[in-house]
A and B are shown apart, each in its own frame.
Chain A
Amino acid sequence: MANNRPKLAVFKFASCDGCQLSLLDCEDELLAVAGKVHIAHFPEASRESVRGPYDVTLVEGSITTPDDVERIQKIRRRSKMLVTIGACATSGGIQALRNFRDVKEFTSIVYAHPEYIRTLETSTAIADHIPVDFELRGCPVNKYQLIEVLNAMLWGRKPQIESGSVCVECKRRGTVCVMVAQGMACLGPVTHAGCGAICPAYNRGCYGCFGPQETANMDPLSEKLAGLGVLATNIARLYSTFNAGAEPFEKARRQVEATNN
């Protein structure tokens, strides 16, 4: 029976494990997932590890070591469909902050014997190294979106994942704009939808956990934030979180910093 079901594998690179745990967090749907796929490799969930090839592979985390660079190639070769999940895998994650600093200096401060550390200068998205079939955003990913992607892959259809702004989600759920009505700093207009606009619904601005939306126009937002009285250093910080390495966010941060200097 197990042999007839599509094989699912979950692999981890530099990350906190939160996104793969979203799969375990599915609770109500988890049994259905387990009934539909053969969980062939998922160290967080099962000791069983079956060799590839895999029908669907989920990859969490970013590429940060020379070993990662080789390992992801092998995983790709063993995977029919490969889906990257989470901010680390899709934009390099919070650890992409290293991309803008001297990594040697970090290792010399952090480790007693930095000579044992083999690490790259940068933390990069999986898609920078191999072709990826679908990228699911978020820090962490939304578990319903994760199930939707799995579902779509299993049935051979397109995942219903929108790539517009978080504002769409606020308006659909009836949340009043916190930026327009309260003058709060919010990254919603430039941020990829998917979380369901959680933060504004709890009266906070969006933190950009899902990275840039499909056509993020950063400069007008930077100007707006400055107009609301947000200091340039703080605007730069807003752009330097879980998706600091995503190109529009990185460019906007550099732009704000350059204007400020």
Chain B
Amino acid sequence: MRAIQEQNAFIMEARELNRLIETLAEKGYETIGPTVQQGAILYGHVGSAGDLPAGWSDQQGPGTYRVSENGDSSFFGYVVGPNSGKSFLHPSRETLMQASRKGDLLEFVDDPAPPERYALIGLRPCDVKAIEIQDRVLLEGLYVDRKYKERRDLLFIVTVNCAKPGGTCFCTSMGSGPAADSGYDLALTELNDDRGHRFLVEVGSDSGSELVAALTTKQATAADIDSAGRQADDAAEAISKSIDTTGLREQLYDSLDSPYWEKIGARCLACTNCTMVCPTCFCTNVQDVSDLAGNSAERIQIWDSCFNAEFSGLHGGSVRQSIHSRYRQWMTHKLASWEDQFDTLGCVGCGRCITWCPVGIDITEEANTIRKRAGQLAGTVEDAP
């Protein structure tokens, strides 16, 4: 069972959640949390606890997602929807620079808008881990993404540990859940049992501690801590998907020429959905646009994907013409070369790429199949699934 430090854990009544949201708003945060929109649970603006999806849950499987009302009073009875912290910290479209002609000179303007000050409420532990991974990529490398950094520096994270996994979750394989151990300001565990509807609150930072001081809480008892720990254990137990990551990197590198990639490629639509919903995928394209008169120009950064041909376009065409070579690039980056680049895997096991793949290609199954075939090795590959 997970170790929760008693002196660092508080109990907050469920009704106090509204106060938590309001206090963050009063402190100047734009409060973002789960909401029911377009038949899904999406992170969006929440003004009060009334905007949260109380009583809603989701059912997920490869290529399928549905939400339903279950009548429960829990605020966080769902798993994850299609968007994540990425939509806010590393948005799909960003103006990097504007220039306009002033006589014979060009005047360059940096985006004058101040950075957004987000409080992300209800992020799942896998999504918190995803932000840590994006930090490595966008903050800790050779080049710092300035706008990401500005938002990241101001960010407040309230994570909510998972009580029940979804049908495509595999966070336990990636060490990113179902409960968070770092990366948050506050971590909540929603407890809704015969001892009442309440939250166990763990403090992860000074600003988290400051916020708790403004709320009505009491010290958590050993029984509360036990319930929270048990809930996380049960959630971990209920996860049905897994990837064995031991030696996976080497096995993927050894399998680059496997004919199995073509079998995946035959099923893959190259639609980019897996990369768009992935909370760690960070790739972008940069477009320079100008007006007809030639008086002003903008440089815009937009989400791109390794499943687009142009993504690997060099002089003379795309390096990855075939769909299978794009899938191979994506999976080996997530589960192997990401480690070489950023010293961590690029996957948090949130399952979004499985759920939101229109044809339900399952990275856990495919990685395990590649492993199995690598184990059986050359000659007998035709017998593998």
A211 interface residue per 8 A CB criterion: no
Q: Across chains A and B, which 8 residue pairs bring their CB atoms closest together, nearest first?
A: A171-B276, A189-B271, A172-B92, A189-B269, A176-B38, A164-B308, A167-B271, A32-B292
Q: Mark A177-206, 1 if CB is under 8 A from B, else 0.
A: 101111100101110000000000001000
With a cutoff of 8 Å between Cβ atoms, the chain B residues found around residue A188 in the complex are 271
Q: How far is the CA of A132 from the CA of B321 in the complex (A)?
A: 22
User: Would you call A179 and B82 a contact (CB within 8 A)?
Assistant: no
Q: Mark B209-252, 1 if CB is under 8 A from A, else 0.
A: 00000000000000000000000000000000000000000000
Residues of A130-174 at the interface with B, using a CB-CB cut-off of 8 Å, are 147-148, 150-151, 154-155, 160, 162-165, 167-168, 171-174
Residue of A nearest to B310 (CB): A163
With a cutoff of 8 Å between Cβ atoms, the chain A residues found around residue B39 in the complex are 176, 181-182
Query: Closest Cβ of chain A: how far from B307's Cβ, in Å?
Result: 8
User: Would you call B287 and A181 a contact (CB within 8 A)?
Assistant: no
User: Would you call A177 and B273 a contact (CB within 8 A)?
Assistant: yes
A33 interface residue per 8 A CB criterion: yes
B268 interface residue per 8 A CB criterion: yes
With a cutoff of 8 Å between Cβ atoms, the chain A residues found around residue B276 in the complex are 167-168, 171-172
Query: Closest Cβ of chain B: how far from A184's Cβ, in Å?
Result: 10
Q: How far is the CA of A164 from the CA of B308 in the complex (A)?
A: 6
A220-B305 contact given A162-B310, A167-B276, A176-B40, CB 8 Å threshold:
no
Q: How far is the CA of A181 from the CA of B78 in the complex (A)?
A: 14
Q: Which of A32, A167, A181, A189 contacts B40 (CB 8 A)?
A: A181
User: Would you call A181 and B272 a contact (CB within 8 A)?
Assistant: no
User: Would you call A167 and B63 a contact (CB within 8 A)?
Assistant: no
Query: Closest Cβ of chain A: how far from B324's Cβ, in Å?
Result: 10
Chain A residues close to B by CB (< 8 Å): 29, 32-33, 35-36, 147-148, 150-151, 154-155, 160, 162-165, 167-168, 171-177, 179-183, 186, 188-190, 203, 213-215, 217, 219-221, 223-224
Q: Which of B82, B270, B293 contacts A176 (CB 8 A)?
A: B82
Q: How far is the CA of A171 from the CA of B293 in the complex (A)?
A: 32
With a cutoff of 8 Å between Cβ atoms, the chain A residues found around residue B305 in the complex are 164, 168
With a cutoff of 8 Å between Cβ atoms, the chain B residues found around residue A148 in the complex are 289
A35-B302 contact given A176-B39, A177-B273, A181-B66, CB 8 Å threshold:
no
A160-B359 contact given A165-B270, A181-B38, CB 8 Å threshold:
no
B188 interface residue per 8 A CB criterion: no
How big is chain B's contact interface, by range? 35 or more
Q: Which of B82, B92, B323 contacts A177 (CB 8 A)?
A: B82
With a cutoff of 8 Å between Cβ atoms, the chain B residues found around residue A163 in the complex are 308-310
Q: Which of A162, A167, A220 contacts B268 (CB 8 A)?
A: A220
Residue of A nearest to B311 (CB): A164
Which one of B64, B266, B321 has the highest number of Cβ atoms from chain A below 10 Å of its Cβ? Answer: B64
User: Would you call A217 and B355 a contact (CB within 8 A)?
Assistant: no
A165-B272 contact given A160-B289, A172-B92, A177-B358, CB 8 Å threshold:
yes
Residue of A nearest to B63 (CB): A180
User: Would you call A29 and B38 a contact (CB within 8 A)?
Assistant: no
User: Would you call A180 and B92 a contact (CB within 8 A)?
Assistant: no
User: Would you call B267 and A177 a contact (CB within 8 A)?
Assistant: no
Q: How far is the CA of A57 from the CA of B302 in the complex (A)?
A: 30
Query: Closest Cβ of chain A: how far from B80's Cβ, in Å?
Result: 13
With a cutoff of 8 Å between Cβ atoms, the chain A residues found around residue B42 in the complex are 174, 176
B330 interface residue per 8 A CB criterion: no
B380 interface residue per 8 A CB criterion: no
Q: Which of A33, A35, A154, A217 contacts B270 (CB 8 A)?
A: A217
User: Would you call A171 and B92 a contact (CB within 8 A)?
Assistant: yes
User: Would you call A179 and B293 a contact (CB within 8 A)?
Assistant: no
Query: Closest Cβ of chain A: how far from B343's Cβ, in Å?
Result: 28
B93 interface residue per 8 A CB criterion: yes
Q: How far is the CA of A215 from the CA of B322 in the complex (A)?
A: 8
User: Would you call B87 and A174 a contact (CB within 8 A)?
Assistant: yes
Q: How far is the CA of A99 from the CA of B273 in the complex (A)?
A: 34
Query: Closest Cβ of chain B: how far from A173's Cβ, in Å?
Result: 7
Residue of A nearest to B269 (CB): A189
With a cutoff of 8 Å between Cβ atoms, the chain B residues found around residue A217 in the complex are 266, 268-270, 323
Q: How far is the CA of A204 from the CA of B37 in the complex (A)?
A: 16
Query: Closest Cβ of chain A: how far from B23's Cβ, in Å?
Result: 27
Residues of B141-198 at the interface with A, using a CB-CB cut-off of 8 Å, are none
Residue of B nearest to A154 (CB): B292
Residue of A nearest to B91 (CB): A172
Which one of B37, B67, B308 has the highest number of Cβ atoms from chain A below 10 Å of its Cβ? Answer: B308
Query: Closest Cβ of chain B: how far from A57's Cβ, in Å?
Result: 18
Q: How far is the CA of A167 from the CA of B272 in the complex (A)?
A: 7
User: Would you call A164 and B64 a contact (CB within 8 A)?
Assistant: no
B303 interface residue per 8 A CB criterion: yes
B348 interface residue per 8 A CB criterion: no
User: Would you call B270 and A215 a contact (CB within 8 A)?
Assistant: yes
Which one of A29, A154, A162, A220 has the highest number of Cβ atoms from chain B below 10 Å of its Cβ? Answer: A220
Q: How far is the CA of A175 from the CA of B273 in the complex (A)?
A: 12
Query: Closest Cβ of chain A: how far from B360's Cβ, in Å?
Result: 8
Residue of B nearest to A190 (CB): B269
With a cutoff of 8 Å between Cβ atoms, the chain B residues found around residue A32 in the complex are 291-293
User: Would you call A155 and B308 a contact (CB within 8 A)?
Assistant: no
Q: How far is the CA of A189 from the CA of B293 in the complex (A)?
A: 36
